[in-house]
Amino acid sequence: MSENSAGDSGTRGDSSPEPDAEAAKGAADERPTVYDLAPDCTLEDVDVGALYHAEVNGVVDYGIFVDVSAAVSGLVHDSNLDGEYDVGDSLIVRLTEVKENGDVAFDDETVDDHRTETVEHEPSISRIRGLAPGDEVTVEGEVVQAKQTGGPTIFAVSDASGVVSCAAFEEAGVRAYPEVAVGDMVHVSGTIETRENALQLEVDALKKLPDERAAEARARFEEALDERAEPADIDPLVEWAAFEPIHDDLRDLARLLRRTVLSGRPIRVRHHADGDGMCAAIPVQLALENFVGDVHEDPDAARHLFKRLPSKAPYYEMEDVTRDLNFALEGRARHGQKLPFLLMLDNGSTEEDVPAYENLAHYDIPIAAVDHHHPDPEAVEPLLDAHINPYLHGEDYRVTTGMMCVELARLIDPSLTEELEHVPAVAGLSDRSKAEAMDDYVALAEAAGYDEQDLLDIGEALDYAAHWLRYSEGKTLVNDALNVGCEDEARHEELVEFLSERAARDVDRQLDALDDHVEHERLASGAHLYRIDLDEYAHRFTYPAPGKTTGELHDTRVKETGDPVITIGYGPDFCVLRSDGVRLDIPNMVTELNEELPEAGVSGGGHLVVGSIKFVKGRRSAVIETLIEKMADAEIDEALSSTAALED
């Protein structure tokens, strides 16, 4: 029996006098207690021998029938009546017996002085995980979705063990329980049934918990969320001292993402549309979709709650954030969903991301970024719930986002480990990482059945597919190319061969078109500088795009010379930069260009040795010449090597 309020209630026939406060306090424990049951109380909430407020619901020759709640009624036999009663009269009764068949017997009681305590229903709570058709249950949890259909109102309720859809019917198209909103703690009672291959609770009663009880339920819910959100206790795929502090950050993010799924919030992933970006996003997508399927009783939940989209630029563009925000707001309006959690992969760490993040801040959308571009932590971290970047631990871009996200995926769902063993090597080779762990990653992939050429071909196939997919997810195609979540090994091999061969053919055609028009000079530092006007001499609107074209040209010159090389590919209002053996510090150069040429509108960034810059078309010559002057003064550092080709 749960006590929600104690002391003189002044209701239901409380005959107590009005003594002063001290006298009432002293007498409180001496007066008999009469319980006032909430309407939804059941036999679980009553005790034999206790006194209850009752109301007469029927008069017969042998006594009266009384209600002590909507669900608990019984007989006061005429031999136990102290007076005469009519339907609707109130009285105090003592519960004397609950028979095996459920019948309840009461005695009529005369109580001169008493105190009233209200009793709220305390149902037996069932965990959502493990429910089965036919179960009569009450679940306690948070409303994470409230959707009105043409028939019933569908409430999705999470109790941290799982999420179940609850169908409540008022009348066709009319909102049931309008007082209940997303975020409320509730009790839902009814029968578990199957609807379209999913479990659904057919609601008999749905009750928003009052403040004190809601706070208690919320505390239990949060504790259960924390417990189940805990990530797997696993070590990284390779032993790498530089990775240890990053791995701790990844554990925290895995916990946050698992908690997000358990709380019923959708997740939207934005990733850079290149090989490393897809090696980051695909494992995380598979891990989160598996976890969504484990948590939700609806087998289609992952399709509604997870969305992955590529970004052509290595930062979050206003065009992308506007689409994402519109999608999120429509989802809330049409489907009663919470606003999504945004996960940025292989982008999201730089000052260029700030305007987009500030746009989302108006709606309190949580954001996390896993990136290996040179970060601007002071700019982005006030807007992020989590920020993982090797630079924050004294490392650099050689720790690729794909390497980090494979570990993130394993922390979310360790069963994926064997399927992901080749992915860090694909990410590293795609991004031309010189990390000391690359040999270990390649060896791990070889043990899984992939030689180095296989890994290079997969990376090339991913780049080629990403180019033609543009802003589309291309889930099955990309999964098959990476061989993650692929159901047909032969199809994977055939697809990679086809895509990588076409990519190589198109790259050769592009380089042939450029070869006679590449400008060359030797800088004072001894580095070679190569320049190419991509607008004039490259095939446009086809593969490879300007970023990839510049990278492929750069790689040929590095192999030819064996010396430090800088390559610039430019168009009307952009340029792409690549370097081997020269410490360019492109983010710093962008800052300096903005100070020296404020009218040029320079923006962009990247790593120390790879980047992309945009500017006002009419100031192209001034930007490029000033940039070359800075490159001529750049420090020679043969340990540095360029990474991924950036898209324009």
Indicate whether 431 pLDDT > 80: yes
- pLDDT at position 104 over 80: yes
Number of domains in the chain: 4
Q: Kindly state the average pLDDT of the residues 386-405.
A: 94
Whether 528 and 486 map to the same domain: the answer is no
The reported pLDDT for the residue numbered 516 is: 96
Report yes or no on 636 lying in a domain. Answer: yes
Whether residue 266 is contained in a domain is answered as: yes
Q: Is the peptide bond before 123 cis (omega within 30 degrees of 0)?
A: no
The answer as to whether 534 is a domain residue is yes
Question: Per-residue confidence at 29, pLDDT binned at 50, 70, 90?
Answer: low
CA distances from 393 to 240, 399, 438, 529 (A): 14, 11, 19, 32
pLDDT in tens, 286-307: 999 999 999 998 888 998 899 9
Helices in 5-63 by DSSP H: which ranges? 21-27
328 and 369 part of one domain: yes
The answer to which of 108-122, 133-147, 275-289 has the lowest mean pLDDT is 108-122
> Range of 56's domain?
33-119
Same domain, 406 and 467: yes
pLDDT value at residue 18: 47
Whole-number pLDDT of residue 440: 96
For tokens 């004397």, the residue is 96
Q: Give me the DSSP letters along 524-561.
A: TTS-EEEEEEHHHHSPPSSSSPHHHHHHHHHHHHHHHH
Query: Both 77 and 156 in a single domain?
Result: no
Please give the pLDDT value at position 194.
Answer: 93
Instruction: Tell me, yes or no, whether 22 lies in a domain.
Output: no
Residue ending a domain, choose from 459, 493, 527: 493
Short-list 215, 143, 213, CA closest to 179:
143
pLDDT tens digits, one per residue of 208-238? 998 988 999 999 999 999 999 999 999 999 9
Tokens of 193: 């049934």
Q: What is the pLDDT of residue 3?
A: 40
Task: Say if residues 375 and 393 touch (Cβ distance below 8 Å).
Answer: no
CATH number at residue 284: 3.90.1640.30
By three-state DSSP, how is residue 406 classified?
A: helix
Mean pLDDT in residue range 565-573? 95
Task: Tally Cβ neighbours within 10 Å of residue 47.
Answer: 10
Q: Which residues contact 111 (CB under 8 A, 6 or more apart)?
A: 15, 32, 34, 51, 92
CATH of the domain at 562: 3.10.310.40
For residue 19, tell me if it sits in a domain: no
What phi, psi does 610 have (nearest 5°)? -150, 140
- Please indicate, yes or no, whether residues 359 and 387 belong to a single structural domain of this protein: yes
Same domain, 303 and 386: yes
pTM of the model: 0.81
If you count them, how many residues does the chain have?
A: 648
Predicted pLDDT of residue 197: 85
Q: Is residue 346 located within the same domain as residue 383?
A: yes
Same domain for 427 and 343: yes
Bridge partners of 272, per DSSP, are: 311
| Residue among 369, 164, 367, 153 nearest 264 (CA) | 164
Which pLDDT tens digit goes with each residue over 525-545?
999 999 999 999 999 889 999
* Residue 334: pLDDT band with limits 50, 70, 90: confident
Looking at the domain assignment, is residue 498 inside a domain?
no
User: In the prediction, which pLDDT does 456 show?
Assistant: 96
Q: Which of 61, 92, 119 is the last residue of a domain?
A: 119
Both 150 and 86 in one domain: the answer is no
The confidence score (pLDDT) of residue 281 equals 97
Give the end of a domain, one of 184, 216, 248.
Answer: 216
Closest CA to 3 of 72, 56, 50, 70: 50
- The fraction of the chain above a pLDDT of 90, given in percent, is 74
Highest mean pLDDT among 169-173, 192-196, 239-243, 425-429: 425-429
Q: What is the pLDDT of residue 2?
A: 40
How confident is the model at residue 162, as a pLDDT?
94
Q: Which of 461, 453, 530 is nearest to 491 (CA)?
A: 461
Task: Report which of residues 112 and 488 the model is more confident about.
Answer: 488
Measure the CA dihedral 498/504/510/516, to 10°. Answer: -150
> Cis before residue 390, ω within 30 degrees of 0?
no
Shared-domain flag, residues 247 and 391: yes
Q: How far apart are CA 578 and CA 300, in angstroms?
A: 44
C-alpha closest to that of 413 among 348, 484, 477, 462: 484
Q: How many angstroms separate the CA atoms of 149 and 225, rounded?
A: 29
Q: Specify whether 330 is located in the same domain as 290.
A: yes
pLDDT, position 641: 59
643, pLDDT greater than 60: no
Does residue 127 sit within a domain? no
- The answer to whether residues 166 and 80 belong to one domain is no
CATH number (domain holding residue 188): 2.40.50.140
How does the average pLDDT of the chain come out, rounded?
90
- Residues 162-191 have a mean pLDDT of 94
The answer to the question of residue 9 being in a domain is no
Kindly tell me if the per-residue pLDDT of 262 is higher than 60: yes
